[in-house]
Structure 1
Amino acid sequence: MKRFLTIIALCSLVSIEGLAQVGTTGRLEEEAEIVIRKDRKIVLPPATRNFEKIPQLPVSGAVTKQEYQFRRFQYNLSPLEPSFRTANYRSSQPAANFTSNYVRAGYGNYGTPYFEGYIGSPKSQDYIVNLYVRHLSSQRGPIFDENSASGRTEAAVGGKFFNGVNTVSGSLNYTGQKVHFFGYNPVLDLTSDAIEQKFTRFSANVGVQKTERDEQLNYSFETDWVFFRDALEAKENKFDFDVAGDYQLSEELSLSLEAIAVLSKRSEGAVEANRNYLSLQPRVNYAGDKFALKAGINFAGDNDSGNGMSLYPVVEGSVNVDAGLRVYAGYEGFLTMNTLESSIDQNPFLRPGFDLRNTETESNIYGGVEIDLSKGLRLNAGGSLASLNNLQLFTNAVSDSSRFEILYDPGTVDRLNIFSEVNFEKAGEVRSSLRFDFYNYDLSTTAANLEEAWHLPSFKAAFNNTFFPIENLTVTADLYYMGGLNAWNGETAQKFELDDIVDLNLGGKYNLNQQFGVFLQLNNLFGSEYQRNLNYPSRGIQFLGGISVSF
């Protein structure tokens, strides 16, 4: 390198000296001398070098907003019930003006008064206290006027306290419901009081859970004390305890455990029965970028069957094929506790002293696929094959066809379920969900009174939509379908094929301003007095309108 620089320097000097001797003619003079000096040193300044690292450009982290939807699908198709909930859609209202306190009142046909109200404490980082009340009743029904009246009243007071680490919650709840056994023979002359049935439920709830769920250990505890009564001397006291926790071993691996214990006592007159239930559900969970696996056991049992505790294996795996495709499959078994209250929720026209057993799922093999078809459009489809013991089947009682009893297949019932669901949402414009289910039941007995899975449908479909066509207007449209219903009348020993159920409901709410609004709900627009339960037709076209006030 030094030689190279020296040669360049010498050449430069020669050029400079030579040019100095050039005359005006551009030619060297004859007596010009060229001097080459070998002793001259060329000194170059040191090169500037930067040893600092090139700084990285700042990375802007994109925040992904998680949105959750909670939808309620009412397959039992109970009488008219407004579908609006606490939070109102207000696309242009600033957050500072939003209030959750409201009162709604209205009136509909069949003599139907409606009232609903919610009052919450002012915004606070330390606590929340609220009060909720709701009443909906109809003075007349589809037949026999007041003999088919019904009503429901709910009230709850609750609160939550935040101390930075834990959230402590509690509530006191009351529910009162009234129905009539109006499925009697029309030739009978019965009074409303003679066939009236009332249900009363008081409960107290206390819970503790970790406020922030972003650390290694998370936990929760909840207990419910429930006191349930009817007008026919049936009582049920129930104490539920639910403890859950999970521990994060690594970014992908975690352990979880849930323990559920239920102590209950059912009594009707002089007959009493203690019914206890216990379930332990330990899990090992792995969640990777492409693959997820959950494995564990369900250790469950009761004191009803005399079989004690049983072990049911649980395993589920899923693969994310790409960003918009997930495939999953699993196997599990479990024991479901059926109570007096849960059975009446399915059918409020049960006779006194009906047989009550827990339902065991010996095995359930399931699988499916979830696909993001496009932005906001998602498909979920799959199926399951389950083996069930003590599946509840509702039939009209032998002694009185206006009351129902519960029958159980002495063997195992195999149930096939194939389903598909499509969800679509475009923020601020529409939310839509369409689900279809097909069921097939294979009973083990050939007895006439257990020939079919009574009052269980073969087909179910629900199409739920919420639209926001203009500012301050919310419109709902729900379509329900249920087919393949069969019933058994124990009093006449006859089988009946019930007509398919098609129920269309429309609703709308318009906010006149920030405080006042009006609403209208239309149910069963086809006017079909379908029978979800044999001898119990539903009301025809129902409408309910009213006003709402927010404050």
Structure 2
Amino acid sequence: MTLQKINMLKYILFIIFFFPLTAIGQDNWDQEGDLKDSQVIIEKNRKIDLPRINRDFKKVPEIKNNQSALDVEFNSRQFIPNLNSLAPRIRVLTIQDEKLEKLYANQVKIGGGNYGALYLEGNFASKRSKDKSFGLNVFHQSFANGAIDKGNSGSGYQRVNPYGKMIFQKAVLDAEAFYERHNNFLYGYDTALYSEVDRDSLQRTFHTIGASVSLKDQNETSRYHYNLETDIYQLFTNINNKEFSFDYDIENEFDINDDFAIYLNSDGYISNLKFDELDSAQNRNLLRFKPGVKFTRENLRIGLGFNMVHENDTLEGMNKFHVFPDLNIIYTPFDKLSVFGGLKGDVRANRYRDLLMENPYLDNTVNIYNTLMPFQFYGGLRGSVNNFLGYEAGFSLSSVRNNFGYEAVYNENQGEIRYRTKYFNQNNTEANVYASISTNINKLKLNLRGDYYYYNVGETQLMPFRPNFRLKFNTDYWVVDKLKIGLNAHLQGSMNNANTFVQENANYSFNIDESIPPIYDLGIKLGYQLSNRSQVFLHANNLIANKYEYYLGYPNRGFQILGGFTYSF
């Protein structure tokens, strides 16, 4: 018997022995009496005998040792627990950047039209870059025929222009070179009298080779700001006239504080002009220095300084050193409105190349002098109605000396009209009033500007071949997604005619007594986009088909049409 069973038997006997006593006590519960002394003797005399069990105890077998030796190596390594970096699974809501459209930096445009017109333009540029860009522009436009005697009044213009830009942390460097060729003919002869002319003797070709370099400051945190620019060009002609010029423009400004700044600007040129018939060269120089101060306070900006000019090319041996005032004020009463005004004086630089660009029918030799402007009072306002419509209006009133226009000269040997410059030595008044608006609303782009000019060059004289007003209009509108239509208009007032013709001594049928009538020119442009890389276009100019004359004896071409194709890659 196990020990657990023995203990359980003890508890059972104890309960059996005490249970009768308990029951007797409960039966006499309600009776009163005293508990008599008694003695209870419990005797335990039971003996538990367990039978003997035979057990076989075997000897533990001996474990034989393995005689082979085991080489055990223990390597102690130090483990340093590292906690992984906390990477909470939190996603910030961001707007995905729009993918840039593929850039087609190269474009070729080719076309042709009546009057033997040929048009070719190519633009080749580098891809997108944050710190540099470079490219090449090639342009050609020619007319085999013109308004008079077909090829004798043809014209052409070509230009090759490589360029590049480098953007540094605090400055921007621009550089470009160019080659230009202008080809025209002196077709201002009377076709009724001259049926056969020497075409080569009428040709006037001008070649220009040049380059420019500029360095612009873009360090907004610096108090010192600068801008440097240099230009150089050499002009050649088929009549052996030449002009060389080196131009510079330097701007320096130092901010003393948020309100005041001082500046010292300078620009000018050093040039050399040679006419083959005169067999002599002329040095023409102009240096301009402009020191001053700037004041800025809230909506008001004021600039006050001097314009000091030294030049060696004025009429009548006048003083070569000039000092003029330079005052400009800009007031912005509202965010989208600025009122400006000022008073200044200057010297207008006139150069041979500029005159050829304006009037290609000049005589072989012309007088070229600078124009003095002792003072000019100007003012106006500019602003915008909203983000789509802008406007500007203003005026200028100037006192001018040595102002010039053009004078028609009849060449009896060649039988055609040429032009020379005509200067007015006395002080005269010049005025200009203008207004312009521009808009860019959705699919519509529009530009409109009108100018009124006034010249007072004496009681008995008139400014020749200068219009009294000019109106220009240009607009583009996308009719549908792929079709664009544009209108352009040019309206110019009548011009006074000045000439040296002597009717009795020359054979011509030009009406030299009347002024040049007003000019009306209206054009239309159509463009249809075949794809995002190709487009066809159609341009029509001079829809009124009026062979107007800007210069006496040189009528313009009539109705012109040009169509072509544009491809980008």
The answer on 1:465 being equivalent to 2:465 is no
Match of 2:129 in 1: 124
**1:374 deviation in Å?**
5.0
The answer on 1:405 being equivalent to 2:420 is yes
**Mapped partners of 1:495, 1:390: distance in 2:** 25
**Mapped partners of 1:444, 1:268: distance in 2:** 31
The answer on 1:327 being equivalent to 2:336 is no
The answer on 1:523 being equivalent to 2:541 is yes
Q: 1:94 to 1:175 in 2, by over 3 A?
A: farther
Q: 1:237 to 1:321 in 2, by over 3 A?
A: same
Match of 1:26 in 2: none
**1:144 deviation in Å?**
0.9
Match of 2:241 in 1: 234
Match of 2:321 in 1: 309
Match of 2:162 in 1: 157
**Mapped partners of 1:423, 1:162: distance in 2:** 31
**Mapped partners of 2:132, 2:235: distance in 1:** 30
The answer on 1:507 being equivalent to 2:525 is yes
| SS state at 2:498 partner | strand
Match of 1:336 in 2: 348
Structure 1 unaligned blocks of 5 or more = 1-92
Match of 1:436 in 2: 450
Quick check: 1:409–1:445 contact (8 Å CA) kept in 2? Answer: no
**Mapped partners of 1:112, 1:468: distance in 2:** 27
**1:363 deviation in Å?**
1.1
**Mapped partners of 2:299, 2:173: distance in 1:** 37
How do 1:6-25 residues align onto structure 2 when only pairs under 5 Å count? none
Partner letter of residue 362 of structure 2? L
**1:214 deviation in Å?**
5.4
| SS state at 2:151 partner | helix
Quick check: 1:294–1:316 contact (8 Å CA) kept in 2? Answer: yes
Match of 2:294 in 1: 285
The answer on 1:358 being equivalent to 2:373 is no
**Mapped partners of 2:410, 2:534: distance in 1:** 53
| SS state at 1:332 partner | strand
* Deviating more after overlay: 195-204 vs 399-408: 399-408
Quick check: 1:486–1:495 contact (8 Å CA) kept in 2? Answer: no
Partner letter of residue 287 of structure 2? L
How much is the aligned-residue C-alpha RMSD, in angstroms? 2.0
Quick check: 2:348–2:370 contact (8 Å CA) kept in 1? Answer: yes
Quick check: 1:177–1:200 contact (8 Å CA) kept in 2? Answer: yes
| SS state at 2:403 partner | coil
Match of 2:52 in 1: none
Match of 2:268 in 1: 261
Match of 2:555 in 1: 537
Quick check: 1:411–1:445 contact (8 Å CA) kept in 2? Answer: no
1:476-531: CA deviation from partner (whole Å, max 9, x where unpaired): 21111100311112223844311111111111222211221111111111111111
Match of 1:113 in 2: 118
State the 4+ residue runs in structure 1 displaced beyond 6 angstroms. Answer: none
| SS state at 1:360 partner | strand
Match of 1:203 in 2: 210
Quick check: 1:147–1:191 contact (8 Å CA) kept in 2? Answer: no
Please give the TM-score of this superposition, normalised by the length of structure 2: 0.76
1:173 to 172, 178, 186: 178
Quick check: 1:329–1:366 contact (8 Å CA) kept in 2? Answer: yes
Q: 1:234 to 1:463 in 2, by over 3 A?
A: same
* Deviating more after overlay: 105-114 vs 299-308: 299-308
| SS state at 2:514 partner | strand
Structure 2 unaligned blocks of 5 or more = 1-97, 504-511
Identical columns (%): 26
Quick check: 2:105–2:126 contact (8 Å CA) kept in 1? Answer: no
**1:445 deviation in Å?**
5.9
* Deviating more after overlay: 277-286 vs 222-231: 277-286
**1:94 deviation in Å?**
6.2
2:564 to 539, 546, 550: 546
Larger radius of gyration: 2
Match of 1:29 in 2: none
Match of 1:14 in 2: none
Tell me the number of residue pairs that the alignment of Structure 1 and Structure 2 aligns. Answer: 454
Quick check: 1:301–1:335 contact (8 Å CA) kept in 2? Answer: no
Q: 1:387 to 1:161 in 2, by over 3 A?
A: same
**Mapped partners of 2:521, 2:295: distance in 1:** 43
The answer on 1:297 being equivalent to 2:306 is yes
Partner letter of residue 357 of structure 2? D
1:148-189: CA deviation from partner (whole Å, max 9, x where unpaired): 000000001122223323323322210011000001121122
The answer on 1:142 being equivalent to 2:147 is yes
